[in-house]
Amino acid sequence: MFKVEHYSGNKAKDYELMLKQLEALVQGEQDIIANLSNASALLNQFLNDVNWVGFYLWKEKDQELVLGPFQGLPACIRIKSGKGVCGAAIKEGKTQRVEDVNKFPGHIACDAASQSEIVVPLFVNDTLFGVLDIDSPITNRFDDVDQVYIEKFAETLQQHLLLKTE
Ligand code: SME
Secondary structure, 3-state, 134-157? EEECCCCCCCHHHHHHHHHHHHHH
Instruction: Give yes or no for residue 2 having a pLDDT over 90.
Output: no
Protein residue with least CA distance to atom 2, ligand 1: 108
How many Å lie between the centroid of ligand 1 and the Cα of residue 69? 14
d(CA 90, CA 130): 8
How many Å lie between the centroid of ligand 1 and the Cα of residue 8? 31
Number of helices followed by number of strands (H, E) in the chain:
4, 6
Among positive and negative, which fits the CA dihedral 104, 112, 14, 56? Answer: negative
- Output the CATH code of domain 11-158: 3.30.450.40
pLDDT digits (tens, 9 = 90+) for 42-66: 999 999 999 999 999 999 999 999 9
Domain spans in the chain, listed from the N-terminal domain onward: 11-158
What is the value of pTM for the model shown? 0.96
